[in-house]
Structure 1
Amino acid sequence: MRPDRDAVDLSPVTESSPALPAAVLWDMDGTIVDTEPYWMRAQEKLVESYGGTWTHEAAMTLVGSGLDRSARILQEFGVDMPADEIIQLLSTRVMEQISEHVPWRPGALELLIALHERGVPQALVTMSIGRMAHHVASFLPADVFSTVVSADVVTESKPHPEAYLTAAATLGVDIAQTVAIEDSVTGVTSAVAAGAAVIGVQHLLNLDDSGADRIWSTLAGVTPDDVASVLAEVRTEQSA
């Protein structure tokens, strides 16, 4: 397992370069956009509006979780609202912050565009609700996502593999020929269980024991051929 991006081979493409993945499946919060501070701010304001105190430690336990779980935890902190209303309110407040400033993660926007230009299908696989996922996608300079799988179109949230399996099925590709990019243990678990080759991008949570096939410190400077190399290497390792 590569400990960081420095070990990635950035040598020029040759005729023997590995084939590009059938698709690349992207997590959103923390992977493409650094929205976790926005979520934490929205959660804190909501809990405080009910006279409670929201802690950073509590907020960190929700990183990568489905919004249904987040709503239940907030209710335990005194938020007297139905779960769906909590989800909708938090999502709206996060979307408002995104509209003021899109917090792209390093290298994510560039890699999304590069993969699109190379003709690689891409899916957004997020446990945020659909209107927020499409809101983030609307800031991209190209229609890079062939499909969006969000919390409101699956029965089971991550770490269940349903979301990733749904994305591959919608794209009409073999999940084993895809690469998933994630930043949380919950998301990595979901993608690994689905059967994708998984790149974990270190951010707020330690991914050392997450089960990711590769762990990188950043996507800055990553090319489609780097992603293709991961898929080829992982499948070779698994067949050895």
Structure 2
Amino acid sequence: MDKPDLTRITTLLLDADGTLFPSEEPAFGASAAVTQAFADRFGLTGDFSAEHLRRTTTGKNFRTTAQDLLSRRGISVDSAELEMWVAREKEEVTSHLGEVLLPHPGVLAALRTLNRRYRLAVVSSSALTRLAACFTASGLDHLLPPADRFSAEDSLPVPTSKPDPAIYQSALARLGIEPQQAVALEDSATGVESAVSAGITTVGMVQFVPPGERGDRTAQLEQAGAVWVTESWDRLARDLADSTVVVRT
């Protein structure tokens, strides 16, 4: 597939988990215990292992996963109790990620290069507290400060999750740019659907996808609307360097 015209692009909108750092596996490892306890509370049956959750819910936050599980069984839950479970999962996953994530030299180098030409912002389904822990552990605070982080969990009047395009639409409005001025970077089909629905040209990233799954993931990203899929941050920086772009202000 030919790459689109990127001459109007001023801003890169970056997904976080699984895109900026390899957080999916450790996050789901911590989340699985909470999800199983949640399932036990409401009599839900099924596979709630970390690996199954990673394969089936990547791109969604725990709130949406919990609501989906209940909806399939026709179970209603008091909003206060749901918030208790959301807070519990957020705390346990955030603490774990803050301990296990490390700076990735390739990501840092690519972001420094890209930041010379584009404004960088983060658009994620994850909570801001989780993002803060991940960015500090990954050495990304100076490149992606809090003012440039947008969370579907915390930055909207009503929390939601990708594939709802609301968080991308909100990020565009708060950044004061049109969809045609941005490129989104996503590692999941859910995330691609969210960005594409907001009218944003979207690139898939598979650097942190397990090697054995990259072929299938690439197909999923393309089917969801990704204009191309890149194998690494270094390759992305080189691909974008080949384009004549508007220098950010």
Normalised-by-shorter TM-score class: 0.7 to 0.9
Q: CA deviation at 1:105?
A: 6.7
- Secondary structure in 2 aligned to 1:149? strand
8 Å CA contact 2:9, 2:180 repeated in 1: no
TM-score by length of 1: 0.75
Mapping for residues 25-44 of structure 1, pairs under 5 Å: 25-44=13-32
Q: Which residue is 2:60 aligned to?
A: 65
Cα separation, 1, equivalents of 2:244 and 2:200: 9
Q: Select between 173-182 and 80-89 the one with higher mean Cα deviation.
A: 80-89
Residues 26, 57 of structure 1: alpha-carbon distance in 2 compared, 3 angstrom cutoff:
same
8 Å CA contact 1:34, 1:105 repeated in 2: no
Q: Which residue is 2:132 aligned to?
A: 134
Residues 106, 212 of structure 1: alpha-carbon distance in 2 compared, 3 angstrom cutoff:
farther
Residues 222, 20 of structure 1: alpha-carbon distance in 2 compared, 3 angstrom cutoff:
farther
Q: CA deviation at 1:103?
A: 5.1
- Secondary structure in 2 aligned to 1:133? helix
TM-score by length of 2: 0.72
Tell me, which stretches of 5 or more residues in structure 1 are unaligned?
Answer: 3-7, 9-17, 233-240
8 Å CA contact 2:24, 2:54 repeated in 1: no
8 Å CA contact 2:9, 2:181 repeated in 1: yes
Mapping for residues 64-213 of structure 1, pairs under 5 Å: 64-73=59-68, 82-102=81-101, 107-116=106-115, 118-138=116-136, 139-140=139-140, 142-145=142-145, 146-150=147-151, 151-154=153-156, 155=158, 156-202=160-206, 203=209, 205=217, 206-213=220-227
Cα separation, 2, equivalents of 1:82 and 1:37: 27
- Secondary structure in 2 aligned to 1:30? coil
Q: CA deviation at 1:58?
A: 4.0
Q: CA deviation at 1:30?
A: 0.8
1:169-199 CA-to-partner distances (Å, cap 9, x unmatched) read 2111222111110001110011111122111
Cα separation, 2, equivalents of 1:142 and 1:163: 23
Q: CA deviation at 1:162?
A: 1.6
**Which protein has the bigger helix share?**
2
Residues 44, 186 of structure 1: alpha-carbon distance in 2 compared, 3 angstrom cutoff:
same
Letter in 2 for 1:216: T
- Measured on the aligned residues, the alpha-carbon RMSD in Å equals 3.2
Q: Which residue is 2:48 aligned to?
A: 54
Indicate yes or no: 2:215 matched with 1:217. Answer: no
Q: How many residues align?
A: 215
8 Å CA contact 1:31, 1:105 repeated in 2: no
